Structure 1
Amino acid sequence: MDYVIEAPLVCVCDLDGTLLRSDATLSGFARDGLNRLINAGVHVTVASGRSLQAMRALLNGVELGLPVIGLNGALISELDTGRHLLIRALESTPARAAVAILAAHGASPLITSWDGTQDRVHHVKTMNAASDWWVAEKREYGDPRLRLSEDLEGVAGQEDVVLITGFVPDQAAERLLEQLRAELAGAAIIHAGQHIYCTGWTEFQIQHPQADKGHAVPHLLELTGLRGSTVLACGDHLNDLGMFAAADESIAPANAHASVLAAATATAASNDEDGVIHWLLRRARLIGAS
């Protein structure tokens, strides 16, 4: 028999590199473990750089009751209905500038936006290998947001842009990062990191200055009436550090970035060993956790 925990917990978990294994799948053990936590009274949700549509596919079978944090904190949304409870969109001027800079560096920009009624992902026809992979992954699960749009700067000036993504070879990343920081200073947050699925490419993500998991967590607690709960944050990469700062406890898998491991209050086994799930089951004092 599972024990119900004594105090309410809110567990906010990253997906890639944390809950997902290195092949970008959620194991059966992880899925069952998340449901055990939820059934025991733990309030579980995810905070990811991924879209609502991707999370819905990856978390199929997980009985989440809370809204999810998507696109690094740009959106807080209901997973089942797709309704957005919070939207952090870039101003049009920095959005257009970011698209122009990425295009000039051959980064094949991709725009994730809200057009007032629907979520969109705009891309051009000819892309570099990494951007082509990014779009192809979404085609595989039938993402309805994809739109071929040759005038990306025009899109950036017309729709609510919540994420601009681009990819360059690792050796070109530093120069691009320097220009983005110089021209978008204060107007956007810029994430840059080696892509975990496309070796040799650096992924850039450009968003509203407060499109951050650390800003999103307090909003999530307020929206759900859970303010004052004990918050456990689980993550592996630099975009999880803000979430760690907003949490009472922070857990990093062994495969996490060195800075994330240093900031965590606890370390679990790697994502390929479902380490975070094992740690959470122990933390919730559920029988059978190993």
Structure 2
Amino acid sequence: MNWLTAPGHLLVCDLDGTLLRSDTSLSDAARDGLNRLVAAGVALTVASARSTAAMRPMLPGVDLGLPVIEHNGAYISDLRTGQHLVTNALDPAIAGRAVELLGDTIVTAWDGARDRVHFGPDLNPGAGWFIGEKRRYRDPRLTETADLRAVADREQVVMLCSYVPDEDAPAVAARVQEAVGEGARVWTALNSYSAGWSEVVVQSPLATKGAAILELRQRLDLHGEITVCGDHVNDLPMFAVADRRIAPANAQPEVRATASVVTGTNDDDGVVTYLTDQLAISRRATAE
């Protein structure tokens, strides 16, 4: 039996830079490959910094039946309905303090009835790209809000994301982390879609892809190996809990360094090609 279809095995793939091409599209070949994996009995889902509202139009025709991990582990959710099965929110005081320090930030939250993405009226080019992309696919969460600090007092904040010049990002992240202490996880990474602008992200310490994968595996009663596929530093927490780690050739250096397998690039559908090749090898071996 192949490791992909072994009892209790869980396969979790990142989206941007891994399954999606550099233009954020999912190729027809990748879609068909993912559906072949699901049809073969592979327990497959995705873990992304994106929301279910963003995932749905980016995964057209993909037959994903398992819950997905969104916002880097802030939520485990039903992809079709967007219902949150698990929520890892920031403490309101911590969220408020981080907003004060970051100033111009994007606040992702739950208002008790619906998901929200709050943003201010003045956007720098990095944040402008982020909001502009969501306007293009008519993201229903977008909410222009003058007082972002007040959001932390009235809603469950699951993520803060500021876009700052690349050279400033490490210092900004360090200053926020020092202020919030162990009450939040602060990290920074280059944004491949907006040159010159890095993300500074603030989330609950519980909101990681790795922690979410372990929670999801328990909920699904899967007790076999874990295989993960990713390219970005926010994928390292799920690499840490995996038995098998797959990265495309375009992955960031620290991700490639910890990978068990490096495939072709995302623009060549390297990860899906590798996975479907492994499935085909298994089927040939069984037939022989």
Q: Structure 1 length as normaliser, TM-score?
A: 0.93
The CA RMSD measured in Å over matched residues stands at 1.6
| Residue 97 (str. 1) matches residue 93 (str. 2) | no
Partner SS for 1:256 = coil
Contact 1:195 1:203 in 2 (8 A): yes
Contact 1:5 1:40 in 2 (8 A): no
**Structure 1 residue 5: Cα displacement:** 6.3
Q: Which amino acid aligns with 1:7?
A: A
Q: In the alignment, what sits opposite 1:164?
A: 160
Contact 1:113 1:159 in 2 (8 A): yes
Partner SS for 1:163 = strand
Cα distance between partner residues in 1 of 2:278 and 2:150: 49
1:203 to 187, 195, 199: 199
Q: In the alignment, what sits opposite 1:232?
A: 227
Unaligned runs of 5+ in 2: none
2:184 to 175, 180, 188: 188
Q: Which amino acid aligns with 1:123?
A: F
Q: Deviations over 1:166-208 (max 9, x none)?
A: 1011122122122112112211111211110000001111100
How many residues are treated as equivalent by the alignment? Answer: 281
Q: In the alignment, what sits opposite 1:119?
A: 115
| Residue 128 (str. 1) matches residue 124 (str. 2) | yes
Partner SS for 2:130 = helix
Q: Deviations over 1:240-286 (max 9, x none)?
A: 11111211111011111111111111111111111100111122236
Q: In the alignment, what sits opposite 1:36?
A: 36
What is the 5 A alignment of 1:1-290? 7-8=6-7, 9-103=9-103, 108-226=104-222, 228-285=223-280
**Structure 1 residue 230: Cα displacement:** 2.1
Contact 1:4 1:40 in 2 (8 A): no
Contact 1:88 1:162 in 2 (8 A): yes
Contact 2:70 2:76 in 1 (8 A): yes
Q: Which amino acid aligns with 1:235?
A: G
Going by fraction, where is helix more abundant, 1 or 2? 2
Partner SS for 2:159 = strand
Q: Which amino acid aligns with 1:236?
A: D
